[in-house]
Amino acid sequence: MTVGLEALLSRLWWQPQRRLGAWLLWPLSLLYRALRAVHERLRPPATALPVPVLVVGNWVVGGAGKTPTVMAVVQALRAAGHLPGVVSRGHGRESTAVRAVLAGDTPAEVGDEPLLIHRRCQVPVWVGRQRVQAALALCQAHPEVDVLVADDGLQHHALARQAELVVFDERGAGNGLLLPAGPLREPLPEQLPGHCRVLYTAGLRSTGLPGALAVRTIRQAWPLSTWSADTPAAKDGQPLSALQGRPLLAAAGIAAPEKFFGMLQAAGLDVERLPLPDHHPYTTLPWPAGAQEIVTTEKDAIKLAGRDLGGRRVWVVPLDLQLPATLVGELLDLLFPHAGHEPEAKP
């Protein structure tokens, strides 16, 4: 999708009122709904795995905080005594083959989000267009793993799952229409299935569905060289207040860059905004020659690590997502219904 078309559709999708352009596309949404219904009837049975599976994803197109949610869920599972692994398609990579994500990989080989998850969480991550094969390969290579988190894949029904976590940001379901007239990949249910939970990543409810409210924060900025090191030195992280009063260029190649820019400004930073397409490859450096200090996201930084930055200083600002304890408990109950929140014993 070109940048111009993406911008046009975004203006149509993320308005509470349904504009004329959305209604003109509505017949195509009806066709999309019909094709989806046929696919639902014809899909083969899902493949069960040797460990429970939690799928984290969106019912809408575009970023709603899925990757930060995956990392927060993995951290919560580890805190509860479990040994999670992650499977992902690996959007934007050059191959569709099943493979493990390794520390020395590049985003072109495994995808930017899987590489970021592997780096932040230090858990096994496998990628593959067919997530079932990726999941089976991960379980075979890492028999110690006792739960899998699928990064995206709500519509990938070949993978059996015990729980689903659907994320929304402050934009909610937009105009409430299915693709291409609206941002919805599937209709919102009138009532959530028993195995499904909703998380609002912006800390406020943005649809009529019941759900938990997350707390998202940005607290520190890291020099890119330190952030990309195997063991970043904690002393090198700077409070965001240390960047106040300095001319900064904020670059973000994520689905909703304005959220990142807004959080920086709310932290008191004076930033010039440079929105980039989601999964921007950084084949060339996109900032103007006069920019000397750049602030960016972890998803962007994973593609800038090791690059010649032409003497510019790049600050990486991680996004932290705090999950409510009640939601974590409910997910554990769905994944381990007989464990009483205790990890299953390993032979």
Tens of pLDDT along 208-224? Answer: 999 999 999 998 999 99
pLDDT at site 306: 87
pLDDT at site 256: 87
Give the residue ranges of DSSP H helices in the chain.
3-13, 20-42, 66-79, 107-110, 112-121, 131-141, 224-227, 257-266, 298-304, 325-335
pLDDT at site 71: 97
The model's pTM is: 0.92
CB atoms within 10 A of CB 327: 19
pLDDT at site 340: 65
pLDDT at site 234: 55
Residue 219 in contact with residue 247, Cβ under 8 Å?
no
Which of 298, 329, 123, 127 minimizes the C-alpha distance to 227?
Answer: 298
In order of their start, the domains of the chain are: 53-215+322-335 (3.40.50), 219-318 (no CATH)
Going across the sheet that includes 163-168, the strands are 99-100, 125-127, 84-88, 147-151, 53-57, 163-168, 196-200, 212-213
Which of 147, 177, 150, 146 minimizes the C-alpha distance to 166?
Answer: 150
pLDDT along the chain (347 residues), means of 10: 64 84 92 92 91 96 90 97 96 90 93 95 95 97 98 90 96 94 93 97 95 94 88 73 96 92 95 93 91 95 91 94 97 90 47
Q: What string of DSSP letters covers 117-176?
A: HHHHH-S-EEE-SSHHHHHHHHHHH-TT--EEEEES-TT-TTB--SEEEEEE-TTTTTT-
Which of 268, 227, 243, 198 minimizes the C-alpha distance to 58?
Answer: 198
